[in-house]
A and B are shown apart, each in its own frame.
Chain A
């Protein structure tokens, strides 16, 4: 264990190194560039390779290739670059390729405000690529959590053979806070399961174990693996029939849902006696938390729920968090996770409190946004 002082971007880079990162490809973009710059210094010392590619499309495709060659691999970007990665995220889901994509959110649409914060990509991150799949998403609210959840993102990717997104934002990126770094052995680090040595018989790279996750045969070991972007059977052969299509598409979603207990994390406070529950996530949750405390001082029985995992959500667990009559969702966008919370608490009063602020919303901003619903 080592105590240090770091920014959120540095914490993400350090988290990746602790998790065993060996390949990074990226393209510069504010406010994520420091992740690549920091790793450019450090990754070679850890026996890894970093390359600045010609664009974000190349970056994510290189990351997929590196993962199949056996490296724990990641890229980091912000809105415009994240949008360019959409098609390849789909490739990673259908080929069941473990990797981590960090999106340090900035205000959009389009070029937007490159240096300023936002939480507007929360639904994009879920469904950015066409087709049916589930991509787990983590959202840190502090420098320490940027580190912890990056490790968790790698572990989830490796455990479930899936791409995973870390949604940070411009506030977390450039926030400096104390950070405790873990040594190898002090923190759980999961690596993908691989098959034993090749037997000479063709090896089916998509044949699942009972946990629905297939062991991953890597390039260069004699497996003659076929990485296939078309809908495929267990061998990786194109299979355009309903039975094969259904079983593949269902399995790549179910394997994630089966481990919802592992994937889904939340942080609930003051929920026992709460009449009003404030739901928030990421940097905005910092101010929502302070607003909750302020409301309690004023005599309002306010509770606080922070989503650390933004997808998939554990509806049951969220519902059981609190008996509050009113639920208010505070987020820095036009009201997006509100749609889920409204669905999950369909028997209660659920209100959106979008703040839309280029800076971190202050506790005062949050109180003003929440006030009309109290």
Chain B
């Protein structure tokens, strides 16, 4: 019997030998990846980006793994260190367009110091942080983004700590672009990433994602569809909201939108002497 395979328009962006992904059924990360690739595809077909110069860099975690599914130069490095790896690559070859993907633990936890300093430097790269409120890959420990009170495997009596708001943190520094989207609004992921791909300097997009397998268990939303609709209820899009409005709270709601847009000179522009 002849085997036919359907060609998906995004196939050329994927290492098809590695598909299907290892993601759990119902995981939000696949939705996000689809949206990201649509934006990249658009930029490439418009001739704005040379695909040979695109470099994906990921640390360790479910979210970081995205980099070995995409058909580009890619590096799957060590936990929390994708940002400095990407920084070294773009400083050594400024023609590269570095896209860093990572989880909330990888980027804002173990890699938090690198995040701060990359934003301060306005170094040319895009950082995509996937907030699923948990350390998913290691089986459900508390993350720096876990809301207070949530029971995780390492906070069985409820999380006693306050979570980080990465949008406010990065926005307070010298980043040229700071936005937040959600896997329940893939069109905004696509739109914001498309915008970021056309900019210079440090660009940060937080993507709120669903992890029904691990986080879903912790908050009693084990069913992917149910978790997705519960997240969708909490998402509030605002047009150009201020950083003060950047709330991310399971009870009070999660504000998405483009919080910061600047055109400060990037580190590479300064080093090249193009801008000062």
Q: Which residues of A contact B (CB under 8 A)?
A: 22-23, 25, 49, 51, 53-55, 57-59, 61-71, 73, 87-88, 91, 95, 202, 219-230, 236-238
Contacts and interface: CB of A to CB of B under 8 A. Distances in A.
B73 A62 contact: no
Contacts of B92: 22-23, 49, 65-67, 69-71, 73
B53 A220 contact: yes
A220 B91 CA distance: 13
Given A49-B271, A69-B89, A219 B55 contact: yes
Interface stretch (B37-45, B78-86, B206-214, B229-237): B78-86
Contacts of A70: 92-93
A69 B78 contact: no
Interface in B54-103: 55, 57, 60, 68, 71-78, 81, 83-93, 95-96
Interface centre among A65, A226, A229 (most CB of B within 10 A): A65
Place the interface of chain B in its size category: 35 or more
Given A69-B96, A219-B55, A51 B91 contact: yes
B85 A55 contact: no
B88 A64 contact: yes
B76 A65 contact: no
A229 B78 contact: yes
**7 smallest beta-carbon distances between A and B, as pairs:** A65-B88, A62-B88, A227-B75, A66-B92, A66-B88, A69-B92, A65-B89
B68 A91 contact: no
Contact of B52 (A58, A91, A222): A222
Nearest to B114: A58
A230 B88 CA distance: 21
A336 B245 CA distance: 59
16 contacts: A53-B84, A62-B91, A64-B77, A65-B86, A65-B87, A66-B89, A68-B75, A69-B88, A69-B89, A220-B53, A220-B73, A220-B95, A223-B73, A227-B75, A229-B76, A237-B68
A62 to B, nearest CB: 3
A91 B91 contact: no
B113 interface: yes
B76 A221 contact: no
Contacts of A236: 68
A61 to B, nearest CB: 4
A25 B91 CA distance: 10
A51 B116 CA distance: 16
A237 B92 CA distance: 26
Interface of B: 15, 17-18, 52-53, 55, 57, 60, 68, 71-78, 81, 83-93, 95-96, 113-114, 116-117, 271
A45 B29 CA distance: 45
B81 A61 contact: yes
B85 A61 contact: yes
A61 B88 contact: yes
Given A68-B89, A219-B93, A227-B77, 13 more contacts: A23-B88, A25-B84, A49-B92, A53-B84, A54-B114, A59-B84, A61-B85, A64-B88, A88-B78, A202-B15, A220-B52, A220-B93, A225-B74
Contacts of A222: 52
A226 B93 contact: no
A68 B96 CA distance: 11
A62 B57 CA distance: 12
Contact of A91 (B77, B88, B117): B77
B73 A66 contact: no
B267 to A, nearest CB: 9
A47 to B, nearest CB: 11
Contacts of B60: 229
Contacts of A71: 92-93
A119 B68 CA distance: 41
Contacts of B89: 65-66, 68-69, 219
A230 B75 CA distance: 11
A293 B55 CA distance: 58
Given A23-B91, A65-B57, A69-B96, A54 B117 contact: yes
